[in-house]
Amino acid sequence: LSGGKSESRGALIVLEGLDRSGKTSQSSKLLTYLEGLGHSAELWRFPDRSTNVGQMISMYLSNKSQLDDHTIHLLFSANRWEKRSLMETKLKTGTTLIVDRYSYSGVAFSSAKGLALEWCKAPEIGLLSPDLVLYLDIQPEKAAERGGYGGERYEQLEFQKKVAKCYQVLHDASWKIIDACQPIEDIEKQLQEIVLDCVMTCQKGKPLSNLWS
């Protein structure tokens, strides 16, 4: 590797929010935006259902298998750990990663079932810490009205209400809360500004760090 560009690192940008908050729609718009500006960027998502661990998770989410709450929690975490070193390599070689769900989903969804918060956080310690978390904020009732709700295990209003409360506890300085009930294009513009700012800060040499610190 040589030349100026390879010396600057990519940004780790995570989208979080309840089911149907608009994460996937906005993630792909952000990718198009960054690529259009000539940045190297990739779209990632968790769970990554393409791995062996991811397939176990997918079976569980579609109610084709039953697992103990602790077991599925650790599988979600393992699914992030199996991508950690590739993630670090990509970031260090200048690729920005737009990640659709991450450790915050892991902790919020499991603690919403009643598992202890600290126990839920423990297996996430040592994963890369996002430079920016975009939290798409929507009332559970409003999210439930959007298309396609009801297919998978966690897509139930009462449970999503608990998840929303658990997310609130995880909010830290890396978070930006976005009103997810605005028109798609308005959210898109808002995210573009925040993301570009973050990408620039990382290019200038902001160090990578680990969760949770």
Residues that bind Na ion (CB under 5 A): 24
Q: Of all residues in this chain, which one has the CB nearest to Na ion in the complex?
A: 24
Burial class (CB in 10 A: 0-12, 13-18, 19+), 143: buried
Decide if residue 29 touches ligand T5A (CB under 6 A): no
* Side chain identity at residue 165, one-letter code: K
Among 10, 17, 54, 123, binds ligand T5A (CB under 6 A): 17
Decide if residue 44 touches ligand T5A (CB under 6 A): no
Decide if residue 123 touches ligand T5A (CB under 6 A): no
> In terms of C-beta distances under 8 Å and separation of at least 24 residues, what long-range contacts does 87-92 make, across chains too?
87/12, 87/44, 87/128, 88/128, 88/208, 90/10, 90/42, 91/9, 91/10, 91/11, 91/12, 91/128, 91/208, 92/9, 92/10, 92/208
* Span of 12-20, 82-90, 127-135, 191-199 interacting with ligand T5A by CB under 6 A: 12-20
Shortest Cβ 29–ligand T5A spacing (Å): 10
Q: Per-residue x/- mask for ligand T5A, residues 66 to 105, rule CB under 6 A?
A: ----------x------------------------x---x
What b/e readout covers 10-30, taking b as 16+ CB neighbours within 10 angstroms?
bbbbbbbbbbbbbbebbbebb
* Side chain identity at residue 197, one-letter code: D
Return the one option of Na ion, ligand T5A, none that residue 61 interacts with (CB less than 5 to 8 A, by type): ligand T5A
Give the interface with ligand T5A as residue ranges (CB under 6 A). Answer: 17, 19-25, 46-47, 61, 76, 101, 105-106, 109, 146-147, 154, 180, 184, 187
